[in-house]
Structure formats: structure tokens, C-alpha cells
Amino acid sequence: MTELAELPATPGTARTQGRPRSSRAHEAILEAVLDLLEEGITVEALSMEAIAARAGVGKATIYRRWAGKDELLLETLIKLKGPPTQPLGDSVRADLIRLISVVGHKDERAVRVMPCLMPEVSRSPEAYRIWQEAITEPRREVMRDVLRRGVASGELRADLDLEVTVSMLISPLLLHRMTRWNPRLDEVDDLPAQIVDVVLRGVAA
């Protein structure tokens, strides 16, 4: 059983001697965390032993890389969410539909993991801050820009409240994907388009 050649898993800390850390083990650990969260395990109930077992890895291999569960989770979340979807610059309507349509579709896994993270975000100010800065705020800003375009073109009301409008656009989709608050929405056709059309008519100039 010869393992493949491994790349240094943590660039920056230049190790010159000894066996390099296995990037395969590194990936397997992060995947295992997402795997378990996806199954509905909360952050609190997520055990290092379960992670190690799922990844097919010794616990020491985890502790060699991260000081504890918090550090491991942070790296996992950064991996989970990439940069926000960008608008294409067509019409305001088309861009808004595009932005809210990707909620829970670009990455099916992210939407299953999020509910398990929410209790942590509710309780810990630090977790809330990271969640805001890394996940929600960048996405809101993209949507604000599209709305500003609409205001500048005279298409939308000049005194429109960007925060309220952004929330009205994204909240129904977000709540539905994360909690399935109303199961009947599953059967609605073109939900993103319907939402955008009602809001745009509501805030039209």
C-alpha cells in the first residue's frame, strides 16, 4: 500500500524534514465535518471521535492540524461558502431573480448545514460576527448594488429603503430553503420571479 505523493497541507509553515502532512487526510476531515453536519448533527453534538471515524483518520491527525473543534469548524465554513453569485448586469429584474434563485441551489449541502449552525450563531457573538462578515453581508451588498442601479435609472422609487427591500427579496427563499417553513411553496412555479415581480411593483417609481 503505497500512498500517493502528498502536497504540503499547510503552506507557509515550511517543513523541511520528516513525512509531510497528508492533504488527503486534511480533505477527508473537512468532508467528514460537512458530512455529519449535513445529517443534522448540531455543532454542539458534533464529536471529534465521530469526525475521525467518518474521515477514517486518527484523532491525533485532527489535533495535529487544529487546536480544537472551533478552529476546525471555522476552516470548514470558509470552504463551504465561496464568493457570492455576481449579477450579469442585464435588467434589474433579471439580476434580482438570478441572485435569489441560487439560494439553496448552487450548493445543496450548504442549505442543509446552515440550520445546524444557527444555534451557535444565536448564542456566540463571535460566531455571529463571522457569519455576518463572511456569509450574509457580502451577499446583501451585491443585491444592494443591483437595487441602486434601479434607483439611478429611475426605475425604482428614490426613497426606497435598501435594507428592507433586500430582506423582502431574499427572506422568503432563505426561510423556505433553510426551514421549509411553508411546504406548499414546494409546488409553486417560478417562485423567485413571483417574489421579484411583487416587490418591484411595490417599490416602482
Partner DNA sequence: GGATTCCGATACGGTTCCGTTCCGTATCGG
Partner DNA sequence: CCGATACGGAACGGAACCGTATCGGAATCC
Binding site for a copy of itself (CB under 8 A): 39-42, 44-45, 112, 115-116, 118-119, 121-124, 128, 132, 136, 140, 161, 163-168, 171-172, 174-176, 178-185, 188, 191, 194-195, 197-203
Residues contributing to the site for DNA (CB under 7 A): 1-3, 5-6, 9, 12, 15-22, 25-26, 28, 46-50, 56-61, 63-64, 68-69
**CA dist 181 → 174, 175, 190 (Å):** 10, 6, 18
Which residue lies nearer to DNA by CB, 28 or 80? Answer: 28
Compute the least distance from the CB of residue 146 to DNA, in Å: 43
> Which CB atom, from 10 or from 182, has the smaller least distance to a copy of itself?
182
Q: Which does 110 bind (CB under 5 to 8 A by kind): a copy of itself, DNA, none?
A: none
Minimum CB distance to DNA, residue 110 (Å): 23
The CB-of-52 to DNA minimum distance in angstroms stands at 7
**Shortest distance, CB of residue 93 to DNA, whole angstroms?**
48
Q: Which does 89 bind (CB under 5 to 8 A by kind): a copy of itself, DNA, none?
A: none
Query: Rounded CA gap, 70 and 74, in Å?
Result: 6
From residue 176, give the alpha-carbon distance in Å to each of 29, 139, 152, 185: 30, 18, 31, 8
Distance CA(88)–CA(109), nearest Å, equals: 25
In one-letter notation, the amino acid at residue 123 is R
**DSSP, res 15:** -
Tell me the residue length of the chain: 205
193 binds, among DNA, a copy of itself, none (CB under 5 to 8 A by kind): none
Nearer to a copy of itself, 15 or 123 (CB): 123
Distance in Å, CB of 104 to a copy of itself, minimum: 13
- Phi/psi of residue 197, each to 5°? -65, -40
SS (H, E, C) 73-139: HHHHHHHHCCCCCCCCCCCHHHHHHHHHHCCCCCCHHHHHHHHHHHHHHHHCHHHHHHHHHHHHHHH
